[in-house]
Amino acid sequence: MKRFPYVDRDISWLHFNYRVLQESKDKKNNPLLERLKFLAIYSNNLSEFFKVRVAHHKSLIGLRKKLKKQHHLESKKVLEHLLKMVNEQQLEFTDIFENQIVPELKQNGIDIKKRLELSPKQYVYIEDYFKNHLLPYVQPMLLVGKKIKPFLNNAALYLAVELEDKEDKVIRYALVQIPSDKIYRIVILPPSNPEMHDVIFLDDIIRHSIKDIFPGYNIIQSYSIKLTRDADLYIDDEFSGDLVEKLKKSLKKRKVGPPARLVYDRQMPKIFLKYLMNVFELGYLDIIPEGRYHNNFDLFQFPDFDKEYLKLSALVPLPIKELENTDLIFNKIKHRDYLLNVPYHSYESVIRFFEDAAEDDTVTHIKIVQYRVAGKSRIMNALKKAVSKGKHVSAFIELKARFDEEANLSWTKELKKVGVHVTTSFPGIKVHVKLALIIRQTDLGEEKYAYLSTGNFHEGTAKIYSDFGLFTYDTRLTEEAVKVFSFLENKVIPRDGFKHLLVGQFNMRQELVKMIEQEIQNANEGKDAYIILKMNSIQEPNMIKLLYKASRAGVKIDLIVRGICSLVSGVSGVSDNIAAISILDRYLEHARVFIFGNDGDEKMYLSSADFMGRNLYRRVETVFPIYDIKIKNTIRDIINIQLKDNIKARYLDFKLLNEYVCNDSFAIQSQNETYYYFKRIHKVDV
């Protein structure tokens, strides 16, 4: 049992997702369709949370129930608290959508219609739409108590229908699947008047046509439901047998996993809900009330009708001209390091890194680690082209990247087919490294070029995830990159370890601890001591205790944490010297930056790792130093901008209120300011 201030990781995560929900209410800074998008993001996040974290708690309850009653009660208490928070947030979600978003859409010429609000012309349209587009996919199922228990597909939408038999007047219940996985959820209707754009949810088109599916019944009422299943992968033993085959079998089981939650329309009568709970053998910890519509991540599909004023103005990615407009990118990297900060910068330079490597006759080897890959990837195409030109190409692909397992299996097969040397997952750990290495053989001998990053090699997420990347020819880093690949490809343990890179499973955690302890020593000796940490999440108890120790010693600590923050800042006598904020805005803050005062000789690192137990103990990660003074100053400027954010930053403190940072300083929205900072540096007019 922890004896220091600590917020449960899942409770903290729900506070993070509430910050996403807050963005849907920010009328001052977010145009209407952006606020709608944040509702979609919130819904998508919550769906994954139930598939993994809530399912995890339920499995613990089932296990601990057999082992020890006390542990069972503790797990149940945590789950009850999580569900209470979700219920409160869902009520607010419904209020925001129905009482803010929908009316404002109508004021702006977009009307979300319900089936009883349609014009005669629109009724004809949806009836034809149902017959021509939906009828082949609609699957009606009559329920007969526990005698027939139909299987509900994971995350699929259904209408639960109460029927009355026209002949014997007996009340029956049925389910009808809503095929939102095959047809766009939002359907554009013929306009009711020239000044309006009318749309309707697929759900309501089916509600209107239920009478055609059940001709022998009177339709009394219908309510939407959705079942989310446990989507975690359970592999009994990763250390023996064929891990790939075990992974494939586990993926098949994901679709039929035990229920994690049943969401239902909170207007559903209790007697109807109890009937469904009985049919599907669900308890009160398995059900979550929501509004009229579920799977609200489908709001990503919402049409904009070319109303650009309802969206944020685009920040066109800035080119790094020296890298993008050169004949050969390596000629530039050879002379100095280059920093990339997507999505403020264009991702084109990273793509050029691989495409030039594929074409350059002096390149002999291309090595890359892939965790998540875009569906259509120029980088992967460059790897295939390089093989066709006789180059040795190797890729380590992490097959256990959650929700990307099938895609990574597919890429593994495709790359192997064309001759790429593919290595895949280690048993027991994940490889989360973001690293690529190019080796050239020139007249001057062997040359090595590396790209180290805080984010994946993914052309899609590079447009919305904020990450740092470093192009370097510095042998201190490139030679150690070789060691990382030797370990990943051949399981060769580096004889003399790592002196510059911090690598998970080797020296990463120990070196991070050492640098924090050095700041504690500096503070105890009366020297200026400070730490700045920017990351996605901080949860690992030992690191949190160490930061509390540093705070008590007088080390000034600034944290920028997007997601989970189990550390509690601002607690008297424990964390007085720790200030923590979270920034949520148009881009997802994904970069990790670690800065240590080091008695005036500041150390700076970029990282693929958070302060989570999984990153520190169960993954191969890379933390890489920034040696170039100019780049170090640039990163410091970006961090300073974020620390001054008073538009999109929230306090992470003992109050757990997600209060926006508010002060009398000049208004700073860090993501916008970062963009214009780089625009000034590059003197780009876009």
Q: Name residue 207's amino acid.
A: R
Catalytic residues: 432
User: Residue 498 is encoded by which pair of tokens?
Assistant: 């790592």
Q: Decide if 333 contacts 461 (C-beta within 8 A).
A: no
Q: Decide if 621 contacts 503 (C-beta within 8 A).
A: yes
> Residue 211 belongs to what H/E stretch?
helix 202-213
Helices (H), 460-540: 475-490, 508-524
The SS3 of residue 509 is helix
Q: pLDDT per residue over 369-411, tens digit each?
A: 999 988 899 999 999 999 999 999 999 999 988 888 888 899 9
CA pseudo-torsion sign 244, 453, 350, 354: negative
Taking domain 321-499, whether its CATH number is 3.30.870.10 is answered by yes
The SS3 of residue 627 is coil
Q: Please count the other Cβ atoms lying within 10 Å of the Cβ belonging to residue 532.
A: 21
Q: What are phi and psi of 648, to 5 degrees?
A: -115, 5
The SS3 of residue 153 is coil
Instruction: Considering only residues 242 and 569, tell me which one the structure prediction assigns the higher pLDDT.
Output: 569
Task: Give which of 520, 508, 502, 510 is closest to 596, Cα–Cα.
Answer: 520
The DSSP symbol for 611 reads B
C-alpha–C-alpha distance, residues 597 and 555, integer Å = 10
Q: Name residue 272's amino acid.
A: F
Q: Decide if 353 contacts 438 (C-beta within 8 A).
A: yes
Q: Name residue 353's amino acid.
A: F
Q: Which CATH topology does 503-682 take?
A: Endonuclease; Chain A (3.30.870)
Above 50 in pLDDT, residue 258?
yes
Task: Give which of 226, 285, 230 is closest to 59, Cα–Cα.
Answer: 230
Can you give the pLDDT at residue 284? 87
Task: List beta partners, residue 580.
Answer: 559
9-310 shares its CATH topology with 321-499: no
Q: Which CATH topology does 9-310 take?
A: polyphosphate kinase like (3.30.1840)
| Range name among 145-154, 186-195, 559-568 with the lowest pLDDT average | 145-154
The SS3 of residue 408 is helix
Q: Decide if 394 contacts 366 (C-beta within 8 A).
A: yes
C-alpha–C-alpha distance, residues 305 and 226, integer Å = 29
Q: pLDDT per residue over 52-63, tens digit each?
A: 888 888 877 765
C-alpha–C-alpha distance, residues 565 and 611, integer Å = 10
Can you give the pLDDT at residue 235? 62
Task: List beta partners, residue 256.
Answer: none
Above 90 in pLDDT, residue 502?
yes
Q: pLDDT per residue over 571-607, tens digit each?
A: 999 999 999 999 999 999 999 999 999 999 999 999 9
Helices (H), 280-394: 321-324, 329-333, 348-359, 378-388
Can you give the pLDDT at residue 686? 37
Above 60 in pLDDT, residue 637?
yes
> Residue 592 belongs to what H/E stretch?
strand 592-596
Give residue for tokens 């259904």. Answer: 158
Task: Give which of 422, 426, 403, 484 is closest to 450, Cα–Cα.
Answer: 484
Q: Decide if 531 contacts 611 (C-beta within 8 A).
A: no
Instruction: Considering only residues 427 and 133, tell me which one the structure prediction assigns the higher pLDDT.
Output: 133
Q: pLDDT per residue over 293-340, tens digit each?
A: 999 999 999 999 999 999 999 999 999 999 999 999 999 999 999 999
Global model pTM greater than 0.85: yes
Above 60 in pLDDT, residue 67?
no
- Give the residue extent of every domain in the chain: 9-310, 321-499, 503-682
Q: What are phi and psi of 665, to 5 degrees?
A: -70, 165
Task: Give which of 401, 374, 608 is closest to 502, Cα–Cα.
Answer: 608
Tally the residues of the chain: 686
| Section 170-181 average pLDDT | 92
